[in-house]
Amino acid sequence: MKVRKLLVLLLVIALAFAVGGCGKTDDTGESGSNDSENTVSEDGMTIGFSVYDMQYEFFQSMEAGTKSQVEAMGYNYILHDQKSDETQMVSGAINLINQGVDALIISPCKPESLSSIVDAAKAKNVPVIVDDIGGGGTDYDAIVISDCFQGGQQAADYTVELLAGNEGSKKVAIIKCEPSAVYAIRRGEGYKENIEKAGFTVVKELSGHSKSEEGYTIMQDLLASDPDLVAVFAENDPMGVGAANALADAGRDDIIIVGFNGDAEAIDAMKAGTMQGTVAQDPESMGKLTVQLADTLLTGGTLDYDDPTTREIFAPVNLIKSGDVQ
């Protein structure tokens, strides 16, 4: 009886590995070696990528970019999915290092738990490139993040362009993320710099804690305190969409709203005409960039940081205008 139970269990596992193995063979088209499809092969170097969660479109694009660049540069590739779980993140990334990857790229689901991983990598002299999210104050080699400041500037320039010839007031407002979201805060700073250069004044900067419903209530408050606003910038799309809904509910269509992220809900709002623009991050080119950085380190080069103190390297962002989505 026990034996039978055991057999069933083993069958399940054998099946599992068979499925996994087949999938891998299909992907790479290599079936020459029957010895462990996904371990580091003797020839050539390997880059491991530990991804946040493949359930999300953002990270699917990031993974696609990373994988294509790794293969284009002639490295072997190993993927690990953290599935948004910090234990999986730490043990999986450390196992990648145990498997002998030559460089580790990681988009951490919990940046605060990066220290164990970076320590393990440093002990084996494996360079670590962080892709987006945050570095958790660790000793990583580089972190790639979207150029938020420049994205904010693009949003401001676009707003000015839309408002050309407008006879209204020169008042604008910014709905900010929580103060701990250090990268998102730069979006507002970039926006503020360029919009003030163009002669506008930022009359209010309020925190909506990245939440849609707070974007809605803040917009209501803004309408009450400053009904003559001409434009609003939201540091992320959920708040931008919330603000756009508040405007629509109040029957106002004369205020320009630009968000940040390129979320599907923002694109929908732009199609409906309640929002005028959003700044999209480009996870695919971020993924490609991380591989180029890893390659530079593996071939003995040095990195050219955009901010040497935090070892940040910026990835370009794209402004999406309402005309682009119709």
Partner 1 sequence: MKKFFKKINFRELGILYALIILWVLLFATNRTFRDADIYISILREGSILGICGIGMTFCIASRHFDQSIASMMALLACVYTALLTKLAPSAGGAGIFISFLCVMALSVVLGAFNGFLVAKLRIPAFIATLGTLYVYRALAYIVSGGDPVIINQIVSKEQYGFFRTIGMGSFLGLPVSFWIMLICAVTGTVILRKTKLGRHTLAIGNSVSASRISGINIDRTKIYIFTLVGAFVGVGTILNAAFLGSSNPGMSAGYEFVVISTVVLGGTALSGGKGSIFTSIAASIFLVTVTAGMNAFGMDSFAQRVVQGVILLFAFSINGIRAAMENRRVKSEATKHAKATKASASDNG
Interacting residues with partner 1 (CB under 8 A): 1-2, 4-6, 8-10, 12-14, 16-17, 19-21, 23-24, 35-40, 54, 78-81, 83, 85-88, 90-92, 94-95, 98-99, 110-116, 119-120, 136-138, 180
> With respect to partner 1, which residue has the nearer C-beta, 106 or 232?
106
| HSE-CB for 43 with a 13 A CA cutoff | 2
Contact 52, 59 (CB under 8 A): yes
CB of 106 to partner 1, least distance (A): 14
CB of 162 to partner 1, least distance (A): 36
CA neighbor of 222 nearest in space, from 238, 237, 242? 242
CB of 221 to partner 1, least distance (A): 23
> With respect to partner 1, which residue has the nearer C-beta, 124 or 271?
124
> With respect to partner 1, which residue has the nearer C-beta, 111 or 262?
111
> With respect to partner 1, which residue has the nearer C-beta, 178 or 226?
178
CA neighbor of 131 nearest in space, from 103, 159, 165, 151? 103
Which residue type is seen at 53?
D
Which runs of E-coded beta strand occur in 138-291? 142-146, 171-176, 201-207, 231-234, 256-261, 277-280
| Cα–Cα distance measured from residue 188 to residue 153, given in angstroms and rounded to the nearest whole number | 9
How many C-beta neighbours within 10 Å does residue 21 have? 15
CA neighbor of 108 nearest in space, from 100, 117, 99? 117
Retrieve residue 79's tokens. Answer: 């993927």
CA neighbor of 28 nearest in space, from 5, 12, 8, 44? 44
Contact 291, 238 (CB under 8 A): no
Our CA dihedral for 80, 81, 85, 89, rounded to 10 degrees, sits at 20
> With respect to partner 1, which residue has the nearer C-beta, 99 or 292?
99
> With respect to partner 1, which residue has the nearer C-beta, 125 or 326?
125
CB of 219 to partner 1, least distance (A): 24
CB of 183 to partner 1, least distance (A): 16
CB of 234 to partner 1, least distance (A): 21
> With respect to partner 1, which residue has the nearer C-beta, 77 or 149?
77
> With respect to partner 1, which residue has the nearer C-beta, 83 or 321?
83
| Cα–Cα distance measured from residue 123 to residue 139, given in angstroms and rounded to the nearest whole number | 12
CB of 231 to partner 1, least distance (A): 31
CB of 98 to partner 1, least distance (A): 4
